Amino acid sequence: MAQALGLHPGDRVLEVGAGSGYAAAVLSQLAGEVYTIERWPALAETAERSLHDLGYTNVHVFHGDGTAGLPAYAPFDAIVVSAAAPWVPRPLREQLCEGGRLVIPVGGRNEQILLRLTRTDHRTQTERLGEVRFVPLIGEHAWEPGSRQEEGYG
């Protein structure tokens, strides 16, 4: 997924789904600034502590609904989502800068496709990168927490 983002030094990246912070650490070596958001408070705290202790100064960890992105820090050159959405969340598309790339798995439990969207001339070009399998993306603009769709998503 990092390769599919086509990162350049100096790029501003949003990662949805910080988890342990590992992917943010990798992205920080390829881009200028990484903003990562995690819905689980304990994971966000652990990722922030680990990244700080390891000396990653260009990674910024936030707790919140990743499906809403981080509008206060937008626009982003690249956005990567580490969970499967039923569709591409509008706020993430809107937070891409001109030429920005969004890599996201889309689909339900049985079938998911990894997509790369590229924003050009205020439109998005979509490419299918292959079949994948991820946990569901939970939030206001994807699967709702505890919903029947989220439990059996797809």
For residue 72, pLDDT beyond 90: yes
Query: Domain 2-151's class?
Result: alpha beta
Given pLDDT bands bounded at 50, 70 and 90, which one contains residue 122?
confident
Delimit the domains of the chain by residue range: 2-151
Quick: pLDDT tens for 47-60: 999 999 999 999 99
Q: What is the pLDDT of residue 70?
A: 98
For residue 148, pLDDT beyond 80: no
pTM score, whole prediction:
0.93
Share of the chain above pLDDT 70, in %: 95
User: What's the whole-number average pLDDT of the chain?
Assistant: 94
Residues pairing with 116 in the sheet? 103, 127
